């Protein structure tokens, strides 16, 4: 058994003068304080990769910077799925008895510490070096292609996609750490600058500075208990030109495996934390995971189903689309928010029931997937 005993999250946005290691350290200390642990009690470190600080030994660089000497250290790199992949690895390490308390941490100063050209270059490298990169696309262009096909197959419109951005912004308005907190409308999304049609600026997550961390432990360290009930991965492809049909992507595979591992069904879930790098990402994943029928996710948004007071509260911190996206830590904010909700500490954002949470991360262009169920333990 493994418990998430503490979480830490910085505000996202612009942090002038803060390095990636500074942001990671800030989040890590918040997580340790939350867990009631000291640095000396941490015997394992898992660290997400950084495009701003691409060191070949980032986990030990962080450990040195943070002043700890772990018995186990490892860096993980599977794109946007990295945060949940690290949670899954930490869960297995703790259950296997390799470590007692694992600190999982990520953070980057992508907004203030990386130039626009450097960001584009880094994100372009997900493409196939022979068949894609020479043509010049970056991640938004790949997702634009996916969006066009999905909209064609399922009758989804650009206005439908805009609904996801509007909901994430509405949730971000209630979180003081969110990068963007001004309400937006469907009309605002439709009027925003084209990026990679049909995706427009407000269909895309922003670039942010920030850090996130959590501690995975063998036993709970406080009264509140949140444990991993079950998790699984799926990796169907790396490059868009090698991707299977949209109906055969990895989210459906990973959620089926996670349901089997946890012995839970979607009907058991009370809170959802789903990766939302673009509006099309969120729309597709909600449907792949069984949280909405094919082509029906936007209608559920309009009905209030995924609102804070709805049947399935979703990304109540604002998600990547509005809380912000600073690399690996971007999606880790989803886990932090789920933990805060499950321990009843969300204040004005608190949902009625978060006893069972479903988390899902996506890396690459719907390439790598991690599905995870968390359970509140009284």
Q: What pLDDT was estimated at residue 203? A: 98
Nearest to 329 by CA among 52, 24, 91: 24
Q: Is residue 129 part of a domain?
A: no
In this predicted model, what pLDDT tens digit does every residue of 350-378 receive, in sequence order?
999 999 999 999 999 999 999 999 999 98
What integer pLDDT is reported at residue 125 of this predicted model? Answer: 78
127-136, 206-215, 290-299: range with lowest mean pLDDT:
127-136
Q: Does residue 65 surpass a pLDDT of 80?
A: yes
CB burial of 224-246 (b: ≥16 within 10 Å; e: otherwise) equals bbbbbbbbbbbbbbbbbeebeeb
pTM: 0.97
Pairing of strands 72-76, 44-48: parallel
Give the range among 205-214, 241-250, 272-281, 311-320 with minimum mean pLDDT: 241-250
Average pLDDT, the chain: 96
The confidence score (pLDDT) of residue 29 equals 98
Answer yes or no: is 311 within a domain.
Answer: no
pLDDT at 67 over 90: yes
How many domains are there within the chain?
A: 1
Q: Report the SS3 class of residue 366.
A: coil
Q: Is residue 358 part of a domain?
A: no
What is the token pair recorded at 221? 């360290």
In the prediction, which pLDDT does 8 show?
A: 98
Tell me the pLDDT band of 102, cut-offs 50, 70 and 90: very high
Nearest CA-CA partner of 315 in 150, 202, 165: 165
Confidence at 202, pLDDT banded by 50, 70, 90: very high
Listed residue (220, 218, 279, 284) closest to 246, CA to CA:
284
Q: Is residue 42 part of a domain?
A: yes
Q: Which domain holds residue 7?
A: 3-114+211-217
Question: Does position 236 have pLDDT exceeding 80, yes or no?
Answer: yes
Look at residue 156 in the predicted model and tell me its pLDDT. 96
Q: Give the single-character DSSP code of 329.
A: H
Task: Answer yes or no: are the C-beta atoms of 258 and 230 closer than 8 Å.
Answer: yes
CATH of the domain at 77: 3.40.47.10
Using the predicted structure, report yes or no on whether residue 3 has a pLDDT greater than 90.
Answer: yes
Q: What is the pLDDT of residues 300-333, one digit of tens each?
A: 999 999 999 999 999 999 999 999 999 999 999 9
How far apart, in whole angstroms, are the C-alpha atoms of residue 245 and residue 216? 36
Q: Which of 23, 10, 2, 116 is nearest to 65 (CA)?
A: 23
Q: Is residue 95 part of a domain?
A: yes
Instruction: Please give the Cα distance from 198 to 263 (Å, whole number).
Output: 38
Task: Please check whether residue 96 lies inside any domain of the structure.
Answer: yes
């Amino acid at each position: 058994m493994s418990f998430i005993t503490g979480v830490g999250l910085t505000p996202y946005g612009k942090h002038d003068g803060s390095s990636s290691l500074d942001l990671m350290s800030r989040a890590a200390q918040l997580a340790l304080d939350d867990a009631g642990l000291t640095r000396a009690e941490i015997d394992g470190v898992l660290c997400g990769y950084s495009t701003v600080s691409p060191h070949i030994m980032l986990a030990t660089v962080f450990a040195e910077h943070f002043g700890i000497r772990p018995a186990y250290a490892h860096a993980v790199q599977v794109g946007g799925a990295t945060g949940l992949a690290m949670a899954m690895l930490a869960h297995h390490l703790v259950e296997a008895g390799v470590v007692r308390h694992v600190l999982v941490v990520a953070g980057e100063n992508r907004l203030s510490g990386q130039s626009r050209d450097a960001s584009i270059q880094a994100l372009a490298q997900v493409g196939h070096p022979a068949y894609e990169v020479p043509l010049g696309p970056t991640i938004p262009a790949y997702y634009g292609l996916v969006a066009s096909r999905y909209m064609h197959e399922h009758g989804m419109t650009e206005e439908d996609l805009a609904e996801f951005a509007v909901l994430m912004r509405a949730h971000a308005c209630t979180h003081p750490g969110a990068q963007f907190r001004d309400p937006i409308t469907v009309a605002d999304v439709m009027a925003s600058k084209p990026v990679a049609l049909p995706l427009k600026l407000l269909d895309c997550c922003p670039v942010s500075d920030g850090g996130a961390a959590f501690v995975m432990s063998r036993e709970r360290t406080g009264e509140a208990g949140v444990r991993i009930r079950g998790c699984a991965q799926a990796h169907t492809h790396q490059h868009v030109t090698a991707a299977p049909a949209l109906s055969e992507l990895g989210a459906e595979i990973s959620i089926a495996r996670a349901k089997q591992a946890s012995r839970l069904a979607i009907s058991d879930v009370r809170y959802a934390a789903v990766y939302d790098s673009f509006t099309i990402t969120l729309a597709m994943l909600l449907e792949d995971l069984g949280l909405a029928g094919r082509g029906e996710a936007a209608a559920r948004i309009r009905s209030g189903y995924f609102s804070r007071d709805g049947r399935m509260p979703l990304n109540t911190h604002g998600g990547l689309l509005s809380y912000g996206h600073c690399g690996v830590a971007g999606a880790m904010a989803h886990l932090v928010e789920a933990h805060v909700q499950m321990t009843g500490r969300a204040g004005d954002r608190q949902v009625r029931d978060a006893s069972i949470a479903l988390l899902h991360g996506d890396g690459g262009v719907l390439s790598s997937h991690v599905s995870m169920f968390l359970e509140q333990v009284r």
